[in-house]
Structure formats: structure tokens, C-alpha cells
Chain A
């Protein structure tokens, strides 16, 4: 079975540029989550979707961050304009409907903003 697929695996760009991270969840999973991991702040939930609808975006740090889920098999996290402090590993995860199901994580995107 294919797991959660994230692209790109690595992204290096200059500050001010737009960055788009992509995620394909596991087929049949109704929930999709975006996380950010840094040494200083650990693993932070940015936003999650249920059936393509954003449910909780309280973790999105600023208006520069936006996330969309146009269909059940694709989501994007966009940063515009990017800043050096956005450098982190960004994970996408998906899970089935029930609360008592684990989240399955993608391999992450390592983002470096110069």
C-alpha cells in the first residue's frame, strides 16, 4: 500500500519566494494534517482537514501560510513570502475517520529559506 506521499523532499529557496509543499494522503483517509517540526518548537500542528474541509487552522503561524485541499487525494501548504524562520521539516499525515486510529506520516519536506 502506498503511504502518504510528500513532495518535494528537500527545498532550498531564497527569502521572499513562494514555497508550495504538496501531499497525497492515503486513499480512504478522511483526515489530513500538516505539521511543522523545528528543534526549538518541536512538532506543531498547523492545520487539519476533514473530508477536504479545513477544521482547525489555529496553528497556522501567520497569514503568509495557507493550506488547501481541493480534493480527497491532494493538499498543498503554501508560504508566501517565505522567511528564514520558516526553515523546518514539514510533515503531512493522514488518518481514517475514527479518533482511535493512528496518523500515518509522510517522509516530510525539509525546507531551507536562505
Chain B
């Protein structure tokens, strides 16, 4: 079974609109972390936002927020007021303790294109 599922291979969004990128995860570990990374066409991986499994509130970082629904095992990334520079690949990732050995799994990514 996939540990991290990103069901949207590609999305096109009008500039200044909000966008939600979907991510669902699968784990039986009570302690885990969820991360979102951005990979622009230049190739580097940029950390955006983090949500811990025990965090009570949804994480926010500037225009980025994470819609964390633990019971549904979803951790969707919301980008408000999208900009042309937001065009990139976005990866959801999960880090688990997995009985002492850390496991980190990345999703397959969503390619976001912002349309002027």
C-alpha cells in the first residue's frame, strides 16, 4: 500500500486564486510528521511547512497552510493568493519512527502551474 498518496498529477490555477493540493497518508505509528516540499524547475527541494501528529492546530507559514485532518489521514497544502512563482512540483512526505528506525516516504508529487 502507498504510504503517501497525491492524487493530482497536475493542476492549473489562475493567478491570485487559492489552491489546495491533496495528500493522504497511511501509518499505524502514533508519532509522525508530515512535510510539504516545493521543487521549482531549477531542481532544488525547498521545505515549506510541517505538521506533527500531535499538533492540535493546523500549521501555517505565510501563504501556506496545512489542512490536517487526522481521522481522515489527510494533510492537504493550501496556498492562498497564488503567484506565478508558485508554479512548481509539490511533494508531500511523511516521517515515521517505525519502531526505532526512521522512515521517510515521499509522494509522487503534484505539478502546479499558475496561469496569469
Contacts and interface: CB of A to CB of B under 8 A. Distances in A.
Contacts of B46: 105
Contact of A99 (B47, B102, B106, B109): B102
Interface residues of A, number: 22
Interface in B2-61: 31-33, 35, 37, 43-47, 50, 52
Contacts of B32: 99
Task: Say whether chain B's binding surface is mostly helix, strand, loop, or mixed.
Answer: strand
A100 interface: yes
B44 A107 contact: yes
Interface in B46-90: 46-47, 50, 52
Contact of B52 (A48, A100, A104): A100
Given A31-B102, A33-B104, A102 B52 contact: no
Contact of B106 (A31, A43, A55, A110): A43
Interface of B: 31-33, 35, 37, 43-47, 50, 52, 91, 95-97, 101-106, 108-109
Interface of A: 31, 33, 42-43, 45, 48, 50, 55-56, 89, 91, 93, 99-105, 107-108, 110
